[in-house]
Amino acid sequence: MPAGSDGAAGIALVISDVDGTLVTGDKRLTAATVAAVGRLRAAGIGFSIASARPPVGLRSLVAALGLDLPMGAFNGASVVRPDLSTIAERTIPEPAAREALARLLAAGLDVWVFAEGAWCLRDPQGPYTDLERRTIDAEPRVVADLGTLMGAASKLVGVSRDHAHLADCEPRIAAALADRATVHRSQKYYLDVTPPHLDKGQFVTWMSGHLGIPPERIATFGDAGNDRPMFANSGFSVAMGNAEDGVKAAARAVTDSNDADGFAHAIERLILP
């Protein structure tokens, strides 16, 4: 359904993914996006974010957008306040984390571990490390043996420049871990492993209860497979123009790409009265 067709009435809360949705490909918030969030606030509509990023990677967004509601980090496994203090937090059960690490490495992927408040890896010059530095505004911690972190891992990420290979890895690793961990690609080059039974959809449900806003009055925005649970748990969903076809098919509406101010256009055409 193209942007500008059927809008959503009575929306009281908007929850958006960040990378590939709220920010451009080079990780910028455009003036139009900042203005759109301001217009939501002026209309009395709440705004929050749900992201695969660690909490520290949300700090710059809080300042730029004036965020004042809880946010979901690590695909919803951690819920934090705007000052990044923790409301709720889960880690991956250690046996599942160890198996995930072994399977990611066996697949020939670079592996990152987010644990103990740090981004940990073995090769600080590996694929996409420069992008991640810009994204979360933090330097990695070099750890020779990532296995030492498996008792405290909030997220593991398999990283590869071979996007087709990573897409092939996703269903195999997800099936192997079954209900012991949640496995989704957050970008075509990142395969995330996070705590079981927690995803962005669960964050939408948590926000619904926390704020007393029924799900049908919540709108969600996203571009990747890990955003589909948000779509399923909200009354109105918008996929970005840069999303894969399966993500677009799961949404109620499709807007322009993240590099063409798709978020701002959809807020204007579909959400605001």
For residue 184, the domain's CATH number is 3.30.1240.10
Tell me whether residue 26 is in a domain.
yes
Write out residues in the chain with pLDDT < 70, as ranges: 1-7
Give residue 6's pLDDT.
58
Q: If DSSP codes are grouped into helix, strand and coil, which group holds residue 133?
A: helix
Which phi and psi (to 5°) does residue 120 adopt?
Answer: -115, 140
In angstroms, the CA 223 to CA 124 distance is 28
Verify that 205 and 124 share a domain, yes or no. no
Cα–Cα distance list, 107 to 110, 128, 170 (Å): 9, 17, 11
Q: Taking a C-beta distance cutoff of 8 angstroms, is the pair 155, 90 a contact? A: no
Residues 6 or more apart in contact with residue 183 via CB below 8 angstroms: 100, 170, 173, 174, 177, 191, 192, 193
Tell me whether residue 161 is in a domain.
yes
Q: In which domain, by residue range, is 181 found?
A: 94-194
Residue 64: exposure state from Cβ atoms within 10 A (0-12, 13-18, ≥19): middle
User: For residue 79, is it left (φ>0), alpha (ψ between -120 and 50) or beta?
Assistant: beta
Pick the last residue of a domain from 167, 194, 221. 194
In angstroms, the CA 209 to CA 235 distance is 14
Pick the last residue of a domain from 139, 173, 194. 194
Tell me whether residue 68 is in a domain.
yes
Verify that 74 and 62 share a domain, yes or no. yes
Verify that 141 and 224 share a domain, yes or no. no
Cα–Cα distance list, 180 to 101, 167, 199 (Å): 13, 20, 13
Pick the last residue of a domain from 133, 162, 194. 194
CATH number at residue 240: 3.40.50.1000
Does the pTM surpass 0.95? The reply is no
Rounded to 5 degrees, what angle do the CA atoms 179, 77, 111 make? 75
Verify that 183 and 99 share a domain, yes or no. yes
Tell me whether residue 112 is in a domain.
yes
Verify that 266 and 141 share a domain, yes or no. no
Verify that 73 and 204 share a domain, yes or no. yes
Give residue 155's pLDDT.
97
Q: pLDDT tens-digit profile of 7-47? A: 678 999 999 999 999 999 999 999 999 999 999 999 999 99
Give residue 8's pLDDT.
76
Q: Which residue, among 128, 123, 37, 138, has the nearest Cα to 84 in the 3D structure?
A: 138
Verify that 215 and 258 share a domain, yes or no. yes
Give how many domains the chain has, as a whole number. Answer: 2
Q: Which residue, among 44, 46, 82, has the nearest Cα to 64 in the 3D structure?
A: 82
